[in-house]
């Protein structure tokens, strides 16, 4: 099914029959991705004495408790409340869910033992476009990202200048396939987060960062319609399910 949609005063035609899910599935075992020194999530049947809430164990329903951390265990979308003294909830900050988006693929550059993404790399990849949402697929891109254990790996990150460029281009929603846009161990500086959200000077409350996505190699760089859905968590971040649709 094709549909016409108006986003940011622009008209698009999209193919709704071929959604492209770029979120990670949450598992209660070692198949799950982890970061920030957390073990894997837990998905277990409720137990009350000898009663186990599992149909296989004789119960009438499956009734599981799930324990996880949005930032460490999968695709999540966060607002400026992630770094601010004042509380902000992603459920209050993200109130629009469809965006004109551009997918770019970037290979990090090496600098003093780190792998970095620069403003110049992003500028060239955007090719003068100014999308409302930017999706960054980092290279090399393998399926191991779906279950990778990121803690203590010093993953690639955005330089402050790169995040500043995105803010100047008025990119409101940044999506990336890493646990953070910042260096894993940066003494709490969070330079890219702060630059993107313009914190603390004048925080961009309607801007979001989505981390730990996965974009298959079969998906080509270019323009898409992004549907960014979150759970209704009263928290700085929520598990999310970004979906791309091809423009036709």
Domains and CATH numbers, the chain: 2-34+70-246 (3.50.30.50)
What is the rounded distance in angstroms from the CA atom of residue 6 to the CA atom of residue 2?
Answer: 13
Q: Where would I find the beta strands (DSSP E) of 60-202?
A: 64-67, 76-78, 98-106, 109-111, 114-117, 133-138, 157-158, 173-176
Query: What pLDDT is attached to residue 10?
Result: 79
Over residues 121-128, mean pLDDT: 97
Q: Could you read off the pLDDT of 177-218 as tens digits, one per residue? A: 999 999 999 999 999 999 999 999 999 999 999 999 999 999
Rg (CA), the chain: 19
**Residue 95 DSSP class:** -
pTM over cut 0.85: yes
Q: What is the percent of the chain where pLDDT is above 90? A: 94
Binned at pLDDT 50, 70 and 90, residue 45 comes out as very high
Band (pLDDT 50/70/90 cuts) for residue 5 is confident
| pLDDT at residue number 84 | 98
Closest CA to 74 of 44, 29, 33: 33
How many whole angstroms separate alpha carbon 29 and alpha carbon 26? 9
- pLDDT(6) > 90: no
Closest C-alpha among 145, 199, 190 to residue 167? 199
Cα–Cα dist 142/123, whole Å: 25
């Amino acid at each position: 099914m094709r549909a016409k949609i108006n986003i940011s005063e622009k008209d698009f035609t999209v193919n709704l029959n071929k959604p492209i899910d770029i979120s990670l599935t949450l598992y209660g075992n070692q198949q799950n991705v982890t970061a920030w020194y957390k073990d894997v999530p837990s998905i277990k049947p409720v137990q009350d004495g000898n009663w186990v809430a599992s149909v296989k164990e004789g119960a009438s329903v499956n009734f599981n408790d799930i324990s996880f951390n949005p930032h460490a265990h999968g695709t999540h979308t966060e607002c400026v409340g992630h770094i601010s003294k004042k509380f902000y909830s992603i459920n209050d900050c993200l109130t629009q869910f469809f965006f004109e988006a551009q997918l770019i693929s970037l290979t990090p550059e090496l600098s003093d033992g780190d792998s970095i993404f620069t403003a110049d790399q992003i500028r060239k990849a955007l090719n003068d476009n100014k999308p409302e949402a930017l999706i960054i697929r980092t290279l090399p891109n393998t399926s191991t990202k779906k279950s990778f254990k990121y803690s203590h790996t010093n993953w690639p990150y955005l330089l402050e200048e790169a995040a500043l460029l995105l803010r100047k281009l008025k990119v409101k929603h940044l999506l990336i396939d890493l646990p953070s846009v910042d260096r894993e161990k940066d003494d709490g500086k969070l330079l890219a987060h702060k630059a993107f959200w313009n914190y603390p000077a004048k925080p961009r409350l309607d801007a979001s960062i989505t981390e730990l996505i996965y974009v298959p190699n079969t998906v080509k760089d270019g323009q898409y319609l992004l549907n960014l859905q979150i759970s209704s968590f009263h928290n700085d971040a929520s598990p999310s399910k970004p979906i791309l649709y091809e423009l036709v």
